[in-house]
A = this chain, B = another copy of it.
Amino acid sequence: MKIRVVNPNTTSSMTASIERCARAVAAPGTVVEAVTNTMGPASIESHYDDALAVPGLLAEIVRGEAEGADGYVIACFGDPGLYAARELARGPVLGIAEAAMHTAGFLGRGFSVVTTLGRTAGHAMDLAERYGMRHSCLGVHGTDIPVLELDDPKVRGVIAEACRSAVAADGSDAIVLGCAGMADLCDYLTTEVGVPVVDGVGAATVMVQGLLTLGLRKSGRGEFAAPPPKQYTGLLAGFTR
């Protein structure tokens, strides 16, 4: 069983950390490979970044299909390109926001999301709405720590404090980490905050693995069937199918 975890940004140190977190929860027989987007932004902190990360991400899905990947995780909390990826793949594709929100929903009545820039909060709420988890998502809290500074040891305490404040303000039962770059803080925060802390990278990995075990893949009918062949031009001519 081969699961490919795609980091939609181009920062390979972040890919390494994501891969570590995904492998830590995979079953013995499961091969987990993380790949880095080769065209797009260094980090995703706006709708603009999100949109431009998608072509490279989709190229990784196409490559994964050619190389025999069985399922995919999109390792950015904005779940960029999720539906397009689902069209391309034969097997399951999950975004980490999707996986984390559904997972947190099993743990109690409501969760808080703690994330990087406050400007992404609206998009996180849109995703909660789309996935049916709006009633459980009690708040989205920006820390205004840029994505690429998350591995600075000094920010750990700031994030822990943001989690504690969120739990108090929202009366929430769990924390959802709002960035793939926070994945390796999960254990630390669980200890510090005292409620379950859900990292979407791990959550999506076990869920994709579970879907593969169950023999389930995206439905091939209608909306998520392979996209119709089409001519592409300009810089994206290589995306012609």
Contacts and interface: CB of A to CB of B under 8 A. Distances in A.
Given A102-B102, A222-B171, A232-B52, A109 B132 contact: no
Interface stretch (A149-157, A158-166, A190-198): A190-198
B48 A223 contact: no
A214 B104 CA distance: 12
A40 B48 CA distance: 17
Give how many copies assemble into the complex. Answer: 6
Contacts of A88: 48
Interface in A101-126: 102-103, 105-109, 117-123, 126
Interface in A163-198: 171, 173-174, 190, 195-196, 198
B219 A195 contact: yes
B39 A234 contact: yes
Interface string A207-237: 1011101111111111111011011111111
Given A10-B233, A196-B219, A203-B214, A49 B227 contact: yes
A213 B206 contact: yes
A240 to B, nearest CB: 9
Given A131-B132, A171-B222, A213 B25 contact: yes
Given A48-B87, A106-B218, A173-B223, 10 more contacts: A40-B234, A52-B84, A55-B236, A56-B234, A56-B236, A98-B106, A108-B218, A121-B223, A132-B136, A190-B215
17 contacts: A27-B213, A46-B228, A51-B51, A51-B84, A52-B84, A52-B236, A92-B106, A98-B106, A102-B105, A105-B132, A109-B223, A123-B223, A171-B222, A173-B218, A173-B219, A173-B222, A206-B209
